Amino acid sequence: MKGRFLDAVLAAGHDHRSVALATELKSGHQLLLDGERTEGDLALDEAALAAMRDALRADRNRTFDSSAGRVFVEVFSPPRRCFVVGAVHIAQPLVQILSLADYQPIVIDPRQSFATEARFPGLELSTEWPDEALERLKPDHRSAVVTLTHDPKLDDPALAVALRSECFYIGALGSKRTHVARCGRLKEMGFTDAELARIHGPIGLSIGAVSPAPPCKQCPSAPTCGAYSATTPAPTSCASRACRRRGRRTRWSPFPRRSAPNSPTSSST
């Protein structure tokens, strides 16, 4: 890679942008695609540029034949971001799993006693109101938004911003009845049924768990499925074999059955 292209790739990563670099395999000539801007000594026609844009959008390297010769396109992307609205108990194991899945978790909660460095060490935290934080951070097509608070004052504004963005996954914690009420409130804000269908709710695995960590595995798996397959719907719930053998399905609650009064885990709001 030429020095000026390396500098451009590093700058794009710093600004959380994806770029694509096309290399003609015989001559070594290269072209960098950054948004609508191109730079380099490789001349590509519109069909080849469209193929580069497709690779950039899909976040996948690809090789194709063009009028200039055989071209390899390498995509350079920063980690996908997952905005976790609500620094509640479930968020603690969730952000760990997100990090392992190569996401950049960002925790948003205006309740400063919840969103603390002690509870979320080494993570980016925001104590802004969720809608203000999301408007500043600008979720894009490589972003997921998950709301966990059960509080309409926090979840609904965040979902409204997410629905107006290009984020590839939107999930909301809560029961089916809670989700119906949530969609009713968002309809009053002007969203259509088609737009509300983007919200995966309720999220969480129905595996009979009594602690937050096991069902958290589904939260990053669902958006990852959505990111890599536009035709396969992401899972919203399932039952473990043990539950099925017992002949029942147990919906997981994100909060412990018992918790100390006045602790962050004792309140869902």
Angle at the Cα of 226 (from 219 to 84), degrees rounded to 5?
35
Structure tokens at 170: 């939107």
In a structure prediction context, what are the per-residue pLDDT tens digits for the chain, which is 269 residues long? 778 889 999 988 888 889 999 999 999 999 999 988 999 999 999 999 999 999 998 889 999 999 889 999 999 988 899 999 999 998 999 999 999 888 999 999 999 999 999 999 999 999 999 999 999 999 988 899 999 999 999 999 999 999 999 999 999 998 899 999 999 999 999 999 999 999 998 886 566 666 655 555 555 555 555 555 443 344 343 333 333 333 343 333 333 333 444 444 444 44
Q: Are residues 131 and 88 in the same domain?
A: yes
Q: Are residues 11 and 53 in the same domain?
A: yes
Q: Report the b/e string of 20-32 with b at 16+ CB within 10 A.
A: bbbbbeeeebbbb
Q: Are residues 145 and 102 in the same domain?
A: yes
Q: Are residues 137 and 169 in the same domain?
A: yes
Number of domains in the chain: 2
Q: Can you give the residue range of the structural domain that contains 40?
A: 3-76
Cis peptide before 235 (omega within 30 of 0): no
